[in-house]
C-alpha cells in the first residue's frame, strides 16, 4: 500500500479472516462477510462512494476484490495482481494423486475460489497483472 500512499491516495487495507493476526477462519463466507464490512465502513463511516473506490487484490485477495465488485458493481474498477483464475488447478498438483478426488470435492463444495467464473458477473473495468516468474501462479 506504500505506492498509493506516497501518491497521496486514500487507502484502506485489511487481512483475510485467519491470516496474519486476524481472527476468524479462512473460508469464503467469512472472507465475504469481512470484505463487505470493510466496504460498508468505507461507504457509511468514511463517506466514500463506490465510484470512488478502486479495489486491489493480490494473490488470494483477488477473490475478495472480485466478490466485492460483483456485490458493489458501481466501484471504479478492479486491479488483480498475481491472482489465479481457479484455485483447483493450483491445488491438485500440490497434493498426492491418490487424494485428487477428495481435493476436487473439498474445493468445489467448500472453498470454490473460481475467480474467472465470478469475474464474468462484473461488467466494470479490470486490470490484470500477471507475473511470469511467480512460483505458484505462473
- 76-104, pLDDT tens digit by residue? 999 999 899 999 998 999 999 999 999 99
Q: pTM of this prediction?
A: 0.88
- All domains of the chain, ordered by start, with CATH? 4-85+115-129 (3.40.50)
Q: pLDDT tens-digit profile of 54-68?
A: 999 988 899 999 999
Does position 105 have pLDDT exceeding 90, yes or no?
yes
How far from chain centre, in Å, is Cα 127? 14
Helix (H, G, I), strand (E, B) or coil at 37: helix
CA distances from 19 to 62, 98, 110, 128, 136 (A): 15, 29, 18, 24, 19
119 HSE (CA, 13 A, CB side): 20
Query: Pick from 133, 132, 131: which is nearest to 58 by CA?
Result: 131
- Residue 14: how many CA atoms within 13 Å on its side-chain side? 22
Amino acid at each position: 500500500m506504500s505506492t498509493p500512499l506516497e501518491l497521496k491516495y486514500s487507502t484502506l487495507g485489511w487481512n483475510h479472516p485467519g491470516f496474519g493476526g486476524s481472527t476468524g477462519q479462512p473460508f469464503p463466507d467469512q472472507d465475504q462477510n469481512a470484505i463487505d464490512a470493510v466496504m460498508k465502513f468505507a461507504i457509511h463511516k468514511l463517506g466514500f462512494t463506490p465510484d470512488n473506490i478502486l479495489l486491489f487484490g493480490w494473490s488470494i485477495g483477488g477473490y475478495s476484490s472480485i466478490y466485492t465488485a460483483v456485490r458493489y458493481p458501481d466501484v471504479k474498477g478492479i486491479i488483480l495482481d498475481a491472482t489465479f483464475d481457479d484455485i483447483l488447478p493450483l491445488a491438485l498438483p500440490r497434493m498426492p494423486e491418490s487424494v485428487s478426488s477428495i481435493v476436487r470435492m473439498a474445493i468445489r463444495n467448500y472453498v470454490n475460489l473460481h475467480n474467472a467464473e465470478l469475474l464474468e458477473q462484473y461488467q466494470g473495468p479490470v486490470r490484470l497483472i500477471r507475473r511470469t516468474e511467480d512460483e505458484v501462479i505462473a
